[in-house]
Amino acid sequence: MKDIVNLKNLKKKKRVNSKAKGGAFERQIAKMLNERFDTKEFNRTPGSGAFATTHQLPEHITVAGDLITPLKFKFCIECKKGYNDQTIYSLLDYNSKIWQFIEQCEKDARKMKKVPMIIYKQDRKDTLVITYKDMFTTLIPSITIFKDIKEALTTKTYSIYKLKDIIEDYEEKWFMN
């Protein structure tokens, strides 16, 4: 039997550089927030990505999270794109990448005295937001997740929203007084 299909002519799926993908997502989120709040103050953090681990900024400059935000903005934003291997079951594993993202964002948020917010997008899915419970209007659909902190005998409570559902929420939900 003769093979009539020439496999050499099939196009290989082009591999996307994950660093470029993440940077493009950060710029997209910054642009969307600038448009929503009619400002130009949202930008990618110079320390975003690998730069933060390979360079040290002067002590008087505090940079945390993936986006530079306006002074009164409540949130420290960490943007994550891809990670298609993470599923709803990942929320049940406190060692999963999703929980690592939350811990990373909480650490950055403490530095900035802000509320952690992870903006997370998987390929061909809606963009999700993970932040502390009840940060947005209660009528907006959300999923609540918990993490027991055994050492501190406490529980941390988070909500997961669709970004498109919360982006139009009242400005006071996004900014400090």
Q: How far apart are CA 5 and CA 154, in angstroms?
A: 61
Domain count, the chain: 1
Domain assignment present for 10: no
Q: What is the pLDDT along the chain (177 residues), one digit of tens a residue?
A: 666 666 666 666 566 666 677 889 999 999 999 999 999 999 998 866 555 555 565 554 567 889 999 989 999 999 999 999 999 899 999 999 999 999 999 999 999 999 999 999 999 999 999 999 989 998 999 999 998 877 767 888 999 999 999 999 999 999 998
The domain that holds 80 is classified in CATH as 3.40.1350
Domain assignment present for residue 58? The answer is no
Domain that holds residue 68: 17-52+63-173
In a domain, 157, yes or no: yes
CA distances from 105 to 1, 7, 17, 100, 176 (A): 59, 45, 23, 9, 19
- CA–CA distance, 48 with 62 (Å, rounded to integer): 13
What is the pTM (predicted TM-score) of this model?
0.82
6 in a domain, yes or no? no
Residue 2, Cα to own-chain centre: how many angstroms? 52
Question: Is residue 5 in a domain?
Answer: no
> Helix (H, G, I), strand (E, B), or coil: what is residue 82?
coil
**In-domain check, residue 111:** yes
